[in-house]
Amino acid sequence: MYLKNTLNNGIRVVMEEVPYVNSVSIGIFVKTGSINENRMINGISHFTEHMLFKGTKNRTGKEIAEFIDNIGGELNAFTETEFTCFYVRTLDKHLIKAIDILSDLISNPIFQYDDIENEKKVISEEIKMYMDSPEDLVYDMLNEAMFKGTSLSLPILGTLETVRSFNRAIILDYFNKFYIPENMVISVCGNFDSKEVLNILNEHFCKIPHIQINNKCESNIEKHPTIKQKISWKYKDIEQLNFCLGMEGVKRGDEDLYPLVIVNNVLGGCISSKLFQKIREEKGLVYSIYSHLDTYKNTGVFSIYAALSVEQLIKVARLIKEEINSLRINLITKDELIKTKEQIKSSYILGLEDTFSRMVNLGESELLLNRIFSPEEILNRIDNIGMDDIERVVSRVFDNDKYNVAYVGKVKNHESINEQLKNILFY
Query: For the segment 230-253, what is each residue's pLDDT rounded down to a tens digit?
Result: 999 999 999 999 999 999 999 999
Question: How far is 411 from 284, CA to CA, in rounded Å?
Answer: 21
pTM score, two decimals?
0.94
pLDDT category at 218 given cuts 50, 70, 90 is very low
* The pLDDT value given to residue 215: 43
- Going by C-alpha positions, the residue among 219, 202, 218 that lies closest to residue 210 is 202
Find the helix packing angle between 257-267 and 387-398, rounded to 10°.
80
Local confidence band at 213 (pLDDT 50, 70, 90 cut-offs)? low
- Residues with Cβ within 8 Å of residue 150, at least 6 apart in sequence: 220, 221, 222, 225
In this predicted structure, the answer to whether residue 212 has a pLDDT above a threshold of 60 is no
Sheet containing 2-6: give its strands across.
2-6, 12-17, 184-190, 23-30, 84-91, 74-79
Give the span between the Cα atoms of 356 and 201, in whole angstroms.
19
8 A C-beta contact, residue 252 and residue 297: yes
Q: How do residues 334-366 score in pLDDT, each as one tens digit?
A: 999 999 999 999 999 998 889 999 999 999 999
What is the number of alpha carbons within 13 Å of residue 397 lying toward its C-beta? Answer: 34
Residue 220 predicted with pLDDT over 60: no
Residue 101 CA to residue 28 CA, distance in Å, equals 11
Comparing 29-43, 319-333, 347-361, the range with the smallest average pLDDT is 347-361
Separation CA 134–CA 337 (nearest Å): 34
Per annotation, catalytic residue among 17, 37, 49, 336: 49
Phi, psi angles (nearest 5°) of residue 110: -115, -20
Percent of the chain with pLDDT over 70: 96
Q: How many angstroms separate the CA atoms of 191 and 93, rounded?
A: 9
Element of type H or E holding 77: strand 74-79
**Distance, CA of 109 to CA of 86 (rounded, Å):** 14
Amino acid 210: pLDDT: 62
For residue 281, indicate whether it is catalytic: no
CA distance 106 to 179: 8
The whole-angstrom separation of Cα 280 and Cα 312 is: 12
pLDDT tens string 48-84:
999 999 999 999 999 999 999 999 999 999 999 999 9
Cα–Cα distances in angstroms (integers) from residue 232 to residues 43, 219, 235, in the given order: 22, 25, 11
Average per-residue pLDDT for the chain: 94
- Predicted confidence at residue 209, as pLDDT, reads 73
Backbone dihedral angles phi then psi of residue 343, each to the nearest 5 degrees: -60, -45
pLDDT at 15 over 60: yes
Q: First and final CA of the chain: distance in angstroms?
A: 50
Q: What is the DSSP string of 263-326?
A: HHHHHTSSTTSHHIIIIIIIT--EEEEEEEEEE-SS-EEEEEEEEE-GGGHHHHHHHHHHHHHH
Q: How are beta strands 404-409 and 230-235 bridged, if at all?
A: parallel
Cβ atoms of residues 362 and 12 within 8 Å: no
Residue 226 has what pLDDT?
82
| Sequence-distant (≥ 6) Cβ neighbours of residue 69 within 8 angstroms | none
Asked if 187 contacts 112 with a C-beta cutoff of 8 angstroms, the reply is: no
Give the C-alpha separation, 421 to 41, whole Å: 35
The pLDDT tens digits of the residues spanning 121-153 come to 999 999 999 999 999 999 999 999 999 989 999
